[in-house]
A and B are shown apart, each in its own frame.
Chain A
Amino acid sequence: MIKHIIKLIWNKKKSNFLMFLEIFFSFLILFAVFTFVVSNLRMYQSPLGFDTEDMWLAHLSFPSELDSATVADTKLRLVRELNAKPEIISVGFTNSITPFSGSTWVTSNDDNGFDLQTWVVEADEHYGPTAGVNIVEGRWFNEEDALGKYPAVVFNRKLWEEYFDEQPVLDSIYKLNGKENIVVGIVENYKYRSEFEEEYPTTLFHKPVHDAGLASLHIRLQPGTSVQFEEEVNQTIAGITKRSDFIIENLDEKRKDNSRSTWIPMITLLSICLFLILNVALGLFGVLWYNISKRRSEIGLRRALGATADNISFQFISEIMLVTIAGILAGSFFTLQFPLMKLLEVENIDYYYAMGLSALIITVLVLVCAFYPSRQAAGINPAIALHED
């Protein structure tokens, strides 16, 4: 029966070719959209590695004409007075490479006997607990780190995995950024650029809290602190730094803003896809309907020769399914080149998911569209159909 149906499809290759093309292109388009969506969603799944809720962020600046003692004095006063407020749990400083700010700093060298490339963030001893980073090995920085022989660094797991195969690295010395550093800890994640980003190998470098290079102030608040409190913080900071050229940002809002730039194209593409799918479905339905009405006498004949109603609907569903499978296979041949040749910076698994999802949706769609017309075909009265021409 299947062989007979394949022969029938082959002999009608001209009219089936259009259907084949429709399936083929739908598959390619769905694949492209799903690759984008799946890879983004997969990245979205991996945690940021720090908290954004009840976190405020103020970018301060300490003009270069100020001597370091004055800056240190100002910063320590800030920490003391802010921590004294009951609404504030803790504060910490980083350099200007703050979450969702768009800035990055990458360094690479082969000073350790192998090529190593890492993203760089500088932070003080209070930042880790303030941001709620998740330490998996060792510890976060402490005040003694400033007194040690080597500056302290914390790796993220990605770096540990990629360059050290998760072998012990604590208390080892590595040359990074032109200096020798001692590894004191490892954090699970530190994905500070965006929720829709890969985690990159990242190193957090320690600088003491009074260092003038750390001017981004992170404030962790008691849950549910009202926005009105911002004014008070604003005045405290302005009073101590004697400057007003800073703004206080809500880190969670920043995260949402940042993610919106991916959610919006993603949802737009998916909606366009949905319309495409609906269009293809309507087209398919029309074509199937038309085909069956054109083939009424064939159906009548087959019934007269002994086909059951089930034989007829099986035939019509198989015909369309075989064309669909051919279209999906042809499409897969092209889309497989993406993972095989590593054409884009997307994980292979995302391509395979996208292919599977596209194939599944198209198959289900075709089955749904074919179901009613083929039931209709099965119900055709042979005596009437044979009488018609």
Chain B
Amino acid sequence: MSERALHTVEYRTVGAVSGPLLFLEGVSGAHFDETVDVVAPDGEIRRGQVLEVDRNRAVIEVFAGTRGLDVASTSVRLGGGSAALGVGPGMLGRMFDGSGEPVDGGPPPFPEALRDVSGLPLNPAARDHPSEFIETGVSAIDGLNTLVRGQKLPIFSGFGLPGAELAARIAADARVTAAETERFVVVFAALGITHREAAFFRRSMEDSGSLQRTVMFLNLADDPTIERLLTPRLALTAAEYLAFERGMHVLVILTDMTNYCEALREVSTAREEIPGRRGYPGYMYTDLATIYERAGRIRDRNGSITQLIILSMPDDDITHPIPDLTGYITEGQIVLSRELHLKGIDPPIDVLPSLSRLMSSGIGAGRTRGDHRRVADQLYALYATGRDLRRLVSIIGESALSEDDRRFLSFAEEFERRFVHQPGQARPIAATLDLAWELFGPFSDGELKRIDPDTIARYRGAAAV
């Protein structure tokens, strides 16, 4: 991170230190939202931001934490302007900490320009609606929850579930056509994840040969928690530069947003704000939106920002405020299931609660295939019926099932084991759709209610050849 202006005024009037906050008294000229330098008693300089100004008082959030700060000798330099990041092509292949300082031993890359990290809202009239299919090779995604370029899509994972593996797999496979590889880059933001997880991502980027086309911002589990509020904004500022000024297709990976939300809650609690659901602040929706909405495409520009967000559902609870508010903002979600994971399904994607809202603009003849929409609808209908029956069987036993019911029940099994389960190898979209037709085998044309007779006539049986 770089500074926009020189810090000019210095105050030694800290009134209180509480949690991540510092209360400065007797101030004049503190600007709301500006960055400040907090000088610790030992001379160490920590970055902070003004959260509120009230007459002669300023409330400051200290990104690196307040440990070791005191009232007597800590001082604060105001006048840092809004938080900014120096951006330039030299960022590619580099690794930074959660506040934007290089941590790979190299010098800071030469900044071509300084950008305000909070970003500005994109004018909806200037956006271009995303519609370009991204083939991930994962059938449960490509077939049923198709991703498009410029989409923001979270993976709802859980502790011990392979959310990171799935994200890495998508990042590695989603580079689409060879001609476009040059323009594909990854911006990776680690938010409070472990060294092990960060190393995993690094390795997988290395394996897929994209490390040189990756920018990493790392705030790890043992890094200051409040800094996490800044890290995704740095990553997105870099992404906006690469996408909209350099014409690149940027895949932004944010992991794990649950840690981000917890940092947000910590600050809110320290400010003694009225808590919303489960102690998270009432403005969390808006705050998350200022991150997630920084995805998409702009008319008459070449680049795009696609966001892949990983979050852990506390207690596997999808109604928890973190997945809930995320789902209300993002363009769908991929939900991982512990039950499927235990069953050995890999990736353990539960397609029922999963959704891609931009799917319909990315599929169909000319994009994927003419039967895509109907095949997807039909898979859903059959699988949902099968799952209902599975529940019924657990209550009243299998003997109560009719012959018909049994076909649906075994469809659900087959679907999970053959369609969703897909360790290793990627499947092209045509193979995914053909596999679906194969799974429809036991059902008569009339039972495939979601597919029109023309489509059935055209595709049924064709796959078997």
A binds B: no
